[in-house]
Structure 1
Amino acid sequence: MFRKTITMIALIPALFAVGPARAHHSFAMFDPAKVITLQGTVKEFRWVNPHTSLFVNVTGPAGQSGVWAIELTSPGNLTRLGWSRQSLKVGDRVAVEVNPLRDGQHGGGFRKVTLLDNGTVLQASLINIEKAAAGGH
């Protein structure tokens, strides 16, 4: 009985840790009803867990120019879709489709990127790839 009690007490902190981990994966900060395309050059591509991120120097209409922080999925998910840490390089000219942040800051949730110098399109979701293959958005 004493061991069960000790085990239960030891598990309580682990249960509390699950809440923040689940909350971390919320994408509520992005507006799924809006899709914008940004053009610019890759400033940085971070291949890290739990989410990769892309920073793009955007040149565009007023309100869009500046550095945009774009959140992608995990490196593991991207690897399964054919990506590598070399898929995007500093200086690459890109058009990036994102769901922008709801608060209007320069950031968004990644949808797809087109490398402007060679036309390569990279996506981070099988759903988006299947829609594109079917002629959808």
Structure 2
Amino acid sequence: MASKFSRLALAGGVALAGMAAFSVPGTAHHSTAMFEWGKEVQLSNATVRKWEWTNPHTFLFVTTIGKDGKEERWAFEGMSPNHLSRAGWSKRSLKPGDKVDLTYYALRDPRKGGFNVMVKKADGTELKQLPSR
């Protein structure tokens, strides 16, 4: 009887440790603290390099030409494909070579990128990520 109880206690301890180990990364993933949330920034005359329609977040990679005439690479995180599809987006909404203007919330660090709020395509189509926009 004691050995059966010991095995159950050990199994319960392992299960609790496993749940604790996986719960921390799961909650850390959804933080938006890395962005200057609410402070919109504009990026004009960008060229789509890559559009990733992936879970749990979409990613838009663009290039621009800096003041020094050199290419600058930017990366923008977006909402999930599920959310964006309800807002009218699709995996075909953007393609490499498309010219776009972006509205975004910048990263708090000096890297070039942020959270994508809205994409305005060359034909004037606006693709919005947030319902209040």
Task: Using structure 2 for the length normalisation, give the TM-score.
Answer: 0.83
Offset at 1:94? 0.1
Q: Distance in 1 between matches of 2:65 and 2:128?
A: 22
Q: Which amino acid aligns with 1:21?
A: G
Could you say what the CA RMSD is over the residues aligned between the two structures, in angstroms? 2.2
Aligned to 1:23: 28
Aligned-residue sequence identity (percent) comes to 40
Contact 1:55-1:67 at 8 Å conserved across structures? yes
- The counterpart of 2:75, out of the listed 57, 69, 82, is 69
Does residue 121 of structure 2 align to residue 115 of structure 1?
Answer: yes
Offset at 1:43? 0.3
Aligned to 2:40: 35
Q: Which amino acid aligns with 2:111?
A: Q
Aligned to 1:103: 109
Offset at 1:99? 0.9
Q: Distance in 2 between matches of 1:58 and 1:70?
A: 13
Offset at 1:9? 3.0
Q: Which of the two has greater strand per residue?
A: 2
Q: Distance in 2 between matches of 1:79 and 1:101?
A: 25
Offset at 1:14? 2.2
Aligned to 1:9: 14
Moved more, 87-96 or 11-20: 11-20
Aligned to 2:55: 49
Does residue 87 of structure 2 align to residue 81 of structure 1?
Answer: yes
**Which stretches of structure 1, 4 residues or longer, exceed 6 Å deviation after superposition?**
none
- The counterpart of 2:99, out of the listed 90, 93, 103, is 93
Task: Using structure 1 for the length normalisation, give the TM-score.
Answer: 0.81
Which of the two has higher C-alpha Rg? 2
Q: Distance in 1 between matches of 2:131 and 2:36?
A: 20
